[in-house]
Homo-oligomer: A and B are copies of this chain.
Amino acid sequence: MQTEGRPRRSDATKEAIRNAARERFAKDGYERATIRAIAADAGIDPSMVMRYFGSKDRLFAAAADFDLRLPDPLGVPREEVGRVFAAHFVARWDGDETLMALLRSAVTHPAAAERMREVFAGQLAPAVLAVAPDRPEQRAGLVATQVLGVALTRYVLRLPPVTALERDEIVAWLGPVLQHYLTGSENSATP
């Protein structure tokens, strides 16, 4: 199957729609992000969105293609992997609003929730497996609770004490916790 033909004149429009959709989904969630508003942001007619993406669902799928870009855990000392992961996640959340689009939409839109599950099962779980062969899925799940909890309270709910934290402070607090989940045991305190 050929996915890349010769560049077409409409590629720029398609890209503009995708970008506008990402912003709207990130800011408003799936239901409040209307095709009309997305089209207006992209400077074109709503029907163009349908022509190029078929439906709102498929537009969302195209706009919410997310890559965690996790670092290779084998490159860092085992006792620092928690801090490295924490630093990576916090930096990743700030630089890309795709996760926000995914998070805001996943709460009410089943397909978005499924995509979120795929991201963590397909990207986080393998990385955890490389550092902790003992019950890796469970550890990956626990890491997800803490990491998504920060994203939720900081960027979506905007709890004042959490938004007030500096990135360094978050990393300093979260590092030992993720280390606990990655290399600790159920009954141990933080390592």
Contact = CB atoms under 8 A, between A and B. Distances in A.
Size class of the A contact interface (CB-based, 8 Å): 35 or more
Copies in the complex: 2
A108 B153 contact: no
Contacts of A176: 180, 184, 188-190
Contact of A148 (B32, B149, B172): B149
Nearest to A103: B107
Contacts of A146: 145-146, 149, 177
Given A148-B152, A150-B145, A152-B149, A190 B187 contact: no
Contact of A149 (B108, B145, B169, B188): B145
A104 to B, nearest CB: 6
Interface in A108-164: 108, 113, 116-117, 120-121, 125, 137-138, 140-142, 144-150, 152-154, 156-162, 164
A186 interface: yes
Interface of A: 28-29, 31-32, 103-104, 106-108, 113, 116-117, 120-121, 125, 137-138, 140-142, 144-150, 152-154, 156-162, 164-165, 169, 172-173, 176-177, 179-181, 184, 186-191
20 contacts: A31-B108, A32-B108, A103-B107, A106-B156, A108-B108, A113-B158, A117-B159, A121-B159, A141-B161, A141-B164, A141-B165, A144-B153, A144-B159, A144-B161, A144-B162, A145-B146, A145-B154, A148-B157, A177-B190, A189-B191
